Amino acid sequence: MTEITRVPILPIRKGSLTKLWVGVAAVALAGAGLAWASVPHGVEIVELVAGKGESPKADDVIFARYVGKLPNGTVFDEGKDVQLPIQGVFPAGQPLPLAQMVPGFREGALKMKKGGKYRLEIPAEKAYGATPPPGAPIPPNTDLTFEIELVDFMSQADFESRLGMFQQMMQQAQGGQPAPQPAR
């Protein structure tokens, strides 16, 4: 009886099995590299001018001059110096409570130092993601760039204390009249 389905198997050359496994490993590493490259890596902070001293804490209020831009260069927000009539109560810059900022902005600010200037690249998922604030010129899923000068920072409690002191000074300047309260 003759076997028709029989296929002769040639012997494997010496070293061919090693080459096969090296090839499989190379393909696996290349796939892992592509997967790693496609994953967002978080906030990127570039120091433009070095600051000095400590960095703010997560619950501090920072005072900053900043410009926020979309990827195409369009400015969507710009912080202005707060124009307070009494010197020494608040530093220059826009007060920004870090506890209320988007996660990427807060993450970057925690690495800054007083007097420094920085560029902050925030990926969309650490900015506003798919739901930007209503009426904002920020499209959904947009990366944001900020140029920030960290003028100063203080604790939330110190900020609130100074704000209360400022309000009292304003009441006294208006002839002792208490500030109008909203109608109920």
Q: Please tell me the predicted confidence (pLDDT) of residue 91.
A: 87
Q: Please tell me the predicted confidence (pLDDT) of residue 42.
A: 85
Distance, in Å, from the CA atom of 41 to the CA atom of 46, rounded to the nearest integer, reads 15
Query: By the 8 A CB rule, do 119 and 46 touch?
Result: yes
In a domain, 31, yes or no: no
Q: Please tell me the predicted confidence (pLDDT) of residue 162.
A: 87
In a domain, 65, yes or no: yes
Distance, in Å, from the CA atom of 99 to the CA atom of 73, rounded to the nearest integer, reads 27
Three-point CA angle 102, 103, 108, nearest 5°: 105
H helices of 79-155, where? 103-109
Q: Please tell me the predicted confidence (pLDDT) of residue 184.
A: 47
In a domain, 121, yes or no: yes
Residues in the chain: 184
Model confidence pTM above 0.85: no
Could you tell me the CATH number of the domain that includes residue 139?
3.10.50.40
Query: By the 8 A CB rule, do 82 and 90 touch?
Result: yes
In a domain, 3, yes or no: no
Q: Please tell me the predicted confidence (pLDDT) of residue 37.
A: 54
Please report, as a single letter, which amino acid is at residue 156.
Q
In a domain, 23, yes or no: no
Boundaries of domain holding 53: 44-171
H helices of the chain, where? 16-38, 103-109, 156-173
Task: Determine the number of helices (DSSP H) and then strands (DSSP E) in the chain.
Answer: 3, 6
Number of domains composing the chain: 1
In a domain, 35, yes or no: no
From the number of C-beta atoms within 10 Å of its C-beta (0-12, 13-18, 19+), residue 16 rates as exposed
In a domain, 180, yes or no: no
In a domain, 99, yes or no: yes
Mean pLDDT by 10-residue block, N- to C-terminus, for the chain (184 residues)?
Answer: 63 67 70 59 90 94 95 92 71 92 94 96 94 91 95 93 84 68 51
CA-nearest of 131, 129, 134, 119 to 69 is: 119
